[in-house]
Amino acid sequence: MPDARENVEKHLSNKFAALSLAITDATLSGDAALAPTAVAALITAANNPPASIGEMAAIVGLTHSATVRLIDRLEADGLLHRRRRVGREVLVEITPAGRRRADGLQEHRLAASSGFLASLSAEERDLLDGLVDRMLRDHAARGHDRRRLCRMCSRTNCTCCFEAGLLAAKDASPDDPATCEEV
């Protein structure tokens, strides 16, 4: 029979999962014409230099063939463009129309996320900021792909140590109280 602490942990885990789904649903509701993987691909392309299809597949979490089909659709819509490199390697880059669409999606994503934070005081938001940093470092330290974790981050609003290269995830301790900016 579970003890009281175990019940509290399960209850918190369940609420945290529900909140994460609510945030995901709200942030991805900005463009019903695009699947979540297409939104991730556009934001990834807007935030990064041209990437190979294999890199894009790893970041958005699709197989190579599914990523090719996704890029086909986004290229047909004028949002991404393929560029040949050496040999058979193909790089994918965002078009000006794709950048405008990604910027709009990012603005919607941040506004939706801000709505969830609005009920917290400034002090509570500061506390949550440190806790989220710690949870993200722990997640990455367990071997999760940092590029995938940060695939939809707003680079202009992010002090994420993963993307800035300030923290080697495998060396991070979840018990380390340092924030990303302090590392």
Give 56-84 as a DSSP string. HHHHHT--HHHHHHHHHHHHHTTSEEEEE
Are the CB atoms for 15 and 116 separated by under 8 Å? Answer: no
Model confidence, pTM:
0.74
Predicted confidence at residue 159, as pLDDT, reads 65
Predicted confidence at residue 169, as pLDDT, reads 35
Are the CB atoms for 109 and 30 separated by under 8 Å? Answer: yes
Give the chain as a DSSP string. ---HHHHHHHHHHHHHHHHHHHHHHHHGGG-TTS-HHHHHHHHHHHHSS-EEHHHHHHHHT--HHHHHHHHHHHHHTTSEEEEE-STT-EEEEE-HHHHHHHHHHHHHHHHHHHHHHTTS-HHHHHHHHHHHHHHHHHHHHTT--HHHHTTT--GGG---HHHHT-S-GGG--TT----GGG-
Distance CA 98, CA 114 (A): 24
Give all domains of the chain, ordered by start, each with its CATH number.
Answer: 1-119 (1.10.10.10), 120-183 (no CATH)
Higher pLDDT, 173 or 19: 19
Segment 129-182, tens digit of pLDDT: 999 888 888 888 888 777 777 777 776 766 665 444 433 433 433 334 333 333
Higher pLDDT, 56 or 181: 56
CA-based radius of gyration for the chain: 18
Segment 66-77, tens digit of pLDDT: 999 999 999 999
